[in-house]
Amino acid sequence: MNFNDKIAIWVDANDKSPYFGNVYVSWTLFIGSGNFGESNTFNPEPIMFSRSIDGGRTFEKSKQLSQAFNNGAVGGRQGSVIRTGNDGTVYVFWDGTISKRSAVLGARSDDGGKRFGRPFPVTYKSDVPSPFPGASFRVNSFPMADVRQSDGKIFVVWADYSSGHSVVKMTTSSNKGASWTSAQTIANIPGRSAFYPSIALKPDGKQIFVGFNAIDDNPSGTAPGAKVVSYDAYYVISGDSGTSFDKPIKISAASSDPDAATANSLTEQFIGDYNGASASNNAAWFSWTDSRNGATCSAVDEYRSGSPKPNIYDSCPSNFGDTDIFVAIVPWK
């Protein structure tokens, strides 16, 4: 049985591109059932791609962009994102490994998604722990990207973790991914770890918006539960095309407790796997999962610690597990 996961979609909206209007889709394809036992092998897990040249009415046969082989030592591939350049060049970036080290990789098509070259390295990275100390929701260091339409410069961001704390980092390429700048830290919240960053450029390319969440660091190692840690949404803006970024600004008016969110199985918290950002000439938009309107449930916390599974309708507040998608509009300065 095959499983398609982490689907990304992009439309070439540049009316000067020779491939204007093409629709591109990428995803991770888990092939077969895999084996999570003593052999420590997993499903073959390639990044796949398909395009539509008729406005999404039909899509061409999918093509494989990455290797499929996967095991506990080599690692897999996830979290792909698509963007297009000013000349219609198609870029797909994803979370993978190089020489058994976590890395961002990419692939490029110079003919509107018809053919792709071999994958190329973007940067090594230090993944955030999944879960963060004091929480139980899964988290990742997937890359997000955007391309400046004036000159085709590529910007890639991700959450990078070391010494019990994570920050947002960025690397850029001015030659279609042939080489990349050294990673720079563009957002750092003292006492809180950044995660799920997303980037969007103002159409003229002069300003850059990066939104992200940040959760309390938990150096004491307190076990997950109600009011152990909380998170908020933040953003940073660069007014000089990415040379420097302003100090982070908190967007969310109220903090979220991840313990008010839950996976369907009740075994762990759950707030999703990424955020979104987009921009126009007037403003940037940022969306995230927010649990300020949800309630925690002590019976579920006890279940996660080994007690019998509760009936949430009898044991929990009616708004346990309630999460919302919040969207912030940030006007350009």
Task: Provide the 3-class DSSP secondary structure of residue 299.
Answer: helix
Residues 177/108, Cβ–Cβ less than 8 Å: yes
Q: What is the pLDDT of residues 111-153, one digit of tens each?
A: 999 999 999 999 999 999 999 999 999 999 999 999 999 999 9
What pLDDT sits at residue 34?
53
CB-based contacts of 318, cutoff 8 Å, min separation 6: 295
If one counts every other C-beta atom within 10 angstroms of the C-beta of residue 38, the result is 6
Both structure tokens of 144:
């997000």
Euclidean distance between CA atoms 191 and 251, whole angstroms: 17
What pLDDT sits at residue 75?
67
Residues 197/212, Cβ–Cβ less than 8 Å: yes
Mean pLDDT of the chain: 94
From the list 263, 272, 264, the residue with the least C-alpha distance to 324 is 272
pTM of the full structure: 0.94
Both structure tokens of 246:
């302003």
What pLDDT sits at residue 323?
97
Euclidean distance between CA atoms 46 and 63, whole angstroms: 10
Q: Which residues of the chain have pLDDT under 70?
A: 33-42, 70-75
Sign of the alpha-carbon dihedral angle for 241, 247, 253, 255: positive
Tokens 């075994």 belong to residue: 267
Beta bridge partners of 162: 165
